Chain A
């Protein structure tokens, strides 16, 4: 049996409220709050980035996996905010957890889908018998341009998964991916902020691919929406996951445990993976979980997991995602947020 052996999350403590951002730009906060179901988002401190959050989420995954890190044969970091343009994030992660030097390492980038990409590759290598354990992290400290709609949601967080054949917490029952070339959101090299296609990011992008992958994996597995206890969709805002859930026949209560976006924001590559860690935290043996990611450009990876008895043993070995979302919160004013995110022009 292959599947998740350990999982871990990491969320920075800083938050900024939608009202605080809206106030600066003279925007209508209630419309973001009601229309997009966003209340606040996480913000990294100046000393946090995709690499540091990857390390912390991976350490939490290792606590639950309770394995020797030298047995990890692959380390993948999926992100659209790798701190270096050239030089891997994965090598720092592999070194920090003590998985070097006999390890395959790669960085992935596919907008918000890079995390599940790494998960798919790590799982596949385990299935192929190439490695004993594989670690995949989805992490981002994404930036929206000041004043852009994305500024209300672009957040920071990371989720890590260790895949293996022994000590499985959640069996990977099925996988499926659905891709087309759809330029709904992009960032050119040397550009600081991304561009997006406005409403074009909806129907032909997010909804087409999430529905495509969701339908595809359920058909492949011979399952229907009501066969699942929980479902996690990529969460660019609060509304989209519920709308796409309805399109695929899911009910609100199946979505809610992994729906973190209103208090967390969109953590990009960490978004649906953090939804999965939050769902695993409250799941019971036998539960079936569907996760469908989405990355602009565009495509979705889907996985079906079946929770195993070992969940009860490992659940409390590391902080729960909901706990990370609620504990030791620090609310920022826009000025501090602008300083933390290096949006202030200073003297050389």
Chain B
């Protein structure tokens, strides 16, 4: 079992979509970075991701990692958010036949998995149809 620290330190990203933005070239990084991957400058300030976007690609996971067995089958997609950042997360509350590239989605707060019957509950963002 991992200690809760690994989950805890990502809370700002997972609960509130905290990102950072390069003051030099405007690139938004999620998760936040120490150096801009585009221009290598280090002048980055905190920002938040947009909560809506469009699906770029999606799949339906039918053979899941063990923490996700109770949720399978489930859809996971990459979404281009309205601020241009691409974000990967599950797409829920959508019948599989209604999933399509280009569909509009928004963020909802959900349980992602739990660390067994007695472990911590891990929360974060998922997409739902908008």
Contacts and interface: CB of A to CB of B under 8 A. Distances in A.
Given A83-B121, A84-B121, A328-B93, A48 B11 contact: no
Contacts of A84: 121
A95 B15 CA distance: 7
Interface in B75-117: 90, 92-93, 95, 108-112
Given A47-B126, A51-B123, A328-B129, A96 B93 contact: no
B93 A52 contact: no
B123 A339 contact: no
Given A96-B16, A328-B93, A49 B111 contact: yes
Interface in B25-81: 70-71
B121 to A, nearest CB: 6
A47 B121 contact: no
A92 B93 contact: no
Contacts of B123: 51-52, 92, 96
B16, B111, B112 — which one has the most chain A CB atoms within 10 A of its CB? B111
Contacts of A328: 93, 129
B16 A52 contact: no
Nearest to B121: A83
Interface residues of A, number: 21
B129 A51 contact: no
Interface in A56-103: 56, 59, 83-84, 92, 95-96, 98
Contacts of B16: 95-96, 98
A55 B16 CA distance: 11
Nearest to A342: B70
Given A52-B110, A55-B109, A46 B93 contact: no
A235 B11 CA distance: 36
Contacts, number: 48
Nearest to A94: B15
A330 B90 CA distance: 18
A48 B15 contact: no
A340 B102 CA distance: 29
Nearest to B74: A47
B62 to A, nearest CB: 15
A343 to B, nearest CB: 12
A232 B30 CA distance: 45
Given A83-B121, A98-B16, A328-B93, A47 B11 contact: no
A195 interface: no
B15 A47 contact: no
Contacts of A46: 70-71, 111
A45 interface: yes
B70 A48 contact: no
Contacts of A56: 108-109
Interface string A324-341: 000010100000000100
B69 to A, nearest CB: 9
A328 B110 CA distance: 17
A47 B129 contact: no
B110 A96 contact: no
Nearest to B71: A46
A59 to B, nearest CB: 8
Given A47-B111, A95-B11, 18 more contacts: A45-B93, A46-B70, A47-B110, A47-B126, A48-B110, A49-B121, A51-B123, A52-B108, A55-B109, A56-B108, A83-B111, A92-B15, A95-B15, A96-B16, A96-B123, A98-B16, A328-B129, A342-B70
Give me the 4 closest cross-chain CB pairs, A-B, nearest first.
A55-B109, A96-B15, A47-B110, A47-B111
16 contacts: A47-B71, A47-B90, A47-B110, A52-B111, A52-B123, A55-B109, A56-B109, A84-B121, A92-B15, A92-B123, A95-B15, A95-B16, A328-B93, A328-B129, A330-B93, A339-B70
Interface of A: 13, 45-49, 51-52, 55-56, 59, 83-84, 92, 95-96, 98, 328, 330, 339, 342
